[in-house]
Structure 1
Amino acid sequence: MRKIVIVVSAVLLMISCKPEAPKDYVTLAGTITNPNSDSLIVAQRTILKTIKVSEDGTFSDTLKVKEGNYVLFDGKEQTTVYLKNGYDLDLTVNTAEFDETITYTGNGAEENNYIAAVALLQASVLSDDSLFKLEKPNFDEKIEALNSKFKNILAEAKIADTAFVAGQEKQIDGLTKYIASTYEEKQYLITVLGKGNASPKFTDYENFKGGTTSLDDLKGKYVYVDVWATWCGPCKREIPYLKEVEKAYHGKNIEFVSISIDQAKDHEAWKTMVAEEELGGIQLFADNDWKSNFVQEYQIKGIPRFLLIDPDGNIVSSDAPRPSSEDLIALFDELKI
Structure 2
Amino acid sequence: MKKLVCLLLLSVGFSFAQTTAKGKVKFSAKIENRNSDTLTIYGPNKFKQVIPVNKKGVFESTFEVTDGLHQFSDGSESSLMYLRGGDELTLKLDAKDFDETIVYSGKGAKESNFLAQKALSDEKFEMELEALLEKDEATFKAALEAKGKEDLAKLESAGLDEKLVSLLKPRIAQEGMMLTQYYNQKAAAKKVEGTASPSFDYENHKGGKTKLENLRGKYVYIDVWATWCGPCRAEIPHLKKVEEKYHGKNIEFVSISVDVDKDHEKWQKFVVDKELGGIQLFADKNWNSDFIKAFGINAIPRFLLIDPSGKVVKADAPRPSSNALVELLDTLVK
Identify whether the pair has TM-score above 0.5, normalized to the shorter chain: yes
The 5 Å alignment of 1:128-147 reads 128=128, 129-147=130-148
Q: Which residue of 1 aligns with 2:289?
A: 292
CA distance in 2, matches of 1:189, 1:116: 32
- Of structures 1 and 2, the larger Rg is shown by 1
SS of match in other structure, 1:65: strand
| Deviation (angstroms), 1:314 | 3.1
| 1:166 counterpart = 2:163 | no
Say which SS state the counterpart of residue 82 (structure 2) adopts.
Answer: strand
Structure 2 residue 87 is the aligned partner of structure 1 residue 87: yes
For residue 43 of structure 1, give the secondary structure of its aligned residue in structure 2. strand
Unpaired segments of 5 or more residues in structure 1?
1-21
Q: Give a deviation string over 1:7-36, Cα, whole Å, max 9, x none.
A: xxxxxxxxxxxxxxx993112246x37352
Closer, same or farther in 2 for the Cα pair 1:37/1:225, shift >3 Å?
closer
Q: Are the structure 2 counterparts of residues 135 and 69 from structure 1 closer, same or farther at C-alpha, using a change threshold of 3 Å?
A: same
* RMSD of aligned alpha carbons: 4.9
Q: Is the 8 A contact 2:25 2:88 kept in 1?
A: yes
Partner of 2:67: 67
The residue number in structure 1 matching 2:17 is none
Residue aligning to 1:307: 305
Residues 67/263 of structure 1: CA separation in 2 closer, same or farther (3 Å cut): same
1:316 to 310, 313, 318: 313
The Cα shift of 1:59 comes to 6.1
Determine which structure has greater relative contact order: mean sequence separation of CA pairs < 8 Å that are 6+ residues apart, divided by chain length.
2
Distance in 1, matches of 2:33 and 2:247, equals 43
Mark the CA change 1:152 to 1:332 in structure 2 (over 3 Å): closer, same or farther: same
**Percent of matched pairs sharing the same residue:** 27
Deviation per CA, 1:264-317, whole angstroms, max 9, x where unpaired? 55779999999xx9x999x98645222123212224443584531453x53234
Q: What is residue 23 of structure 2 aligned with on the other side?
A: 24
Structure-2 separation of matches of 1:307 and 1:235: 17
Counting only pairs closer than 5 Å after superposition, residues 45-64 of structure 1 correspond to structure 2 as 47-50=48-51, 52-53=53-54, 55=56, 60-64=60-64
2:179 partner SS? helix
Deviation (angstroms), 1:141: 0.5
Matches of 1:273 and 1:90 in 2, distance apart? 37
Measure how far apart 1:126 and its partner are: 2.3
Counterpart contact for 1:147–1:172, Cα < 8 Å: yes
The structure-2 alpha-carbon separation of the partners of 1:290 and 1:243, relative to structure 1 and needing over 3 Å to count, comes to farther
Who is 2:151 aligned against?
150
CA distance in 1, matches of 2:210, 2:145: 49
With over 3 angstroms needed to count, the CA separation of the structure-2 counterparts of 1:100 and 1:263, relative to structure 1, is closer
CA apart distance, 1:181: 1.4
Q: Hey, what's the Cα distance between the residues in 1 that align with 2:267 and 2:78?
A: 36
Q: Distance in 2 between matches of 1:219 and 1:23?
A: 56
Task: Identify the residue that residue 34 of structure 1 maps to in structure 2.
Answer: 32
Distance change in 2, residues 1:266/1:199 (3 Å): farther
Q: Cα deviation per residue 1:66-105 (whole Å; 9 max; x = unaligned)?
A: 1222333457654322111112223444445432232333
Alpha-carbon distance in 2 for matches of 1:73, 1:130: 30
SS of 2:172 mapped into structure 1: helix
TM-score, normalised to structure 1, is 0.64
The TM-score normalised by the length of structure 2 is 0.65
**Residue aligned with 1:48, SS:** strand
- 1:219 to partner: Cα distance: 11
Counterpart in the other structure of 1:224? 220
Counting matched residue pairs gives 294
Aligned AA (1:170): P
The match for 1:10 is none
CA contact (8 A) 2:34 2:94 kept: no
Shift of 1:151: 0.9
Change (3 A) 1:164 1:317: closer
Task: Give the Å deviation of 1:182.
Answer: 1.3
Equivalent residue for 2:196? 199
Residue 99 of structure 2 aligns to a residue whose secondary structure is helix
- The superposition leaves residues 21-71 of structure 1 with CA deviations (integer Å, 9 ceiling, x where unpaired) of x993112246x373527956242166414154564x666542211122233
C-alpha change, 1:258 and 1:42, in structure 2 (3 Å) is: closer
Cα pair distance change 1:239/1:23, threshold 3 Å: closer
